[in-house]
A and B are shown apart, each in its own frame.
Chain A
Amino acid sequence: EDQVTQSPEALRLQEGESSSLNCSYTVSGLRGLFWYRQDPGKGPEFLFTLYSAGEEKEKERLKATLTKKESFLHITAPKPEDSATYLCAVLYNFNKFYFGSGTKLNVKP
């Protein structure tokens, strides 16, 4: 069965404490993996697209990586304003698009 699983469900960090979020997938014919940030009560905001294993993308304190089975979103020295829910999604089998259930990140000052 095609699946996208994100872990952990929730993560609490101290400001400056680096960590990683995981998105594992079991789909065939991956065409792209996408990371989004979602603030409470708002729509998801696009962060990154990764297309092939070994690819990396960076934006400020965030770095996304991709292997054949999973993607990581590394957060380096997070700040309270990085608190949000982070969603991953996969595009596969030509036009199937599926979201994970998200990781809720809370960064304490």
Chain B
Amino acid sequence: DVKVTQSSRYLVKRTGEKVFLECVQDMDHENMFWYRQDPGLGLRLIYFSYDVKMKEKGDIPEGYSVSREKKERFSLILESASTNQTSMYLCASTLIGQGYRFFGPGTRLTVL
């Protein structure tokens, strides 16, 4: 059974903290994505990666960075968390040319 897992379901952090969100997929997918989902705004792409050590900015990359050291793992980093980064964060992966994304269960991040 294909799987995308995320390190935490719920996370509470303080303003200014450095936050790491981890995502692992077991499907040998080349492409991996980080989205955030907010009421009324839908899913918005933060960053994506199409290969190890490769990354591309999505629609809203400001305040975030990513790391992909291994094919199966894609990390999202909030260098200095702010309250407007409180959101649901979703990781996804796909094979090149496949189109649809497989999503993880999400991490609900609250920044106080």
Contact = CB atoms under 8 A, between A and B. Distances in A.
B106 A41 contact: yes
A102 B103 contact: no
Contacts of A99: 42-43
A87 B43 contact: yes
A100 B40 CA distance: 10
Contact of A32 (B40, B92, B100, B106): B100
Interface in A1-40: 31-32, 34, 36
B90 interface: yes
B108 A41 contact: yes
Given A42-B105, A43-B106, A44-B90, A32 B42 contact: no
Contact of A31 (B99, B104, B106, B108): B99
A100 B42 contact: yes
A43 B104 contact: yes
Contacts of B88: 41
A100 B37 CA distance: 12
Nearest to B56: A95
Interface residues of B, number: 18
Interface residues of A, number: 19
A101 B99 contact: no
A91 interface: yes
Contacts of B100: 32, 34, 46, 49, 89, 91
A45 interface: yes
Given A42-B106, A43-B106, A44-B90, A97 B101 contact: yes
Contacts of B90: 43-44
B106 A101 contact: no
Contacts of A46: 100-103
Nearest to A34: B100
A99 B92 CA distance: 13
Nearest to B42: A101
B104 A32 contact: no
A44 B99 contact: no
A42 B103 CA distance: 9
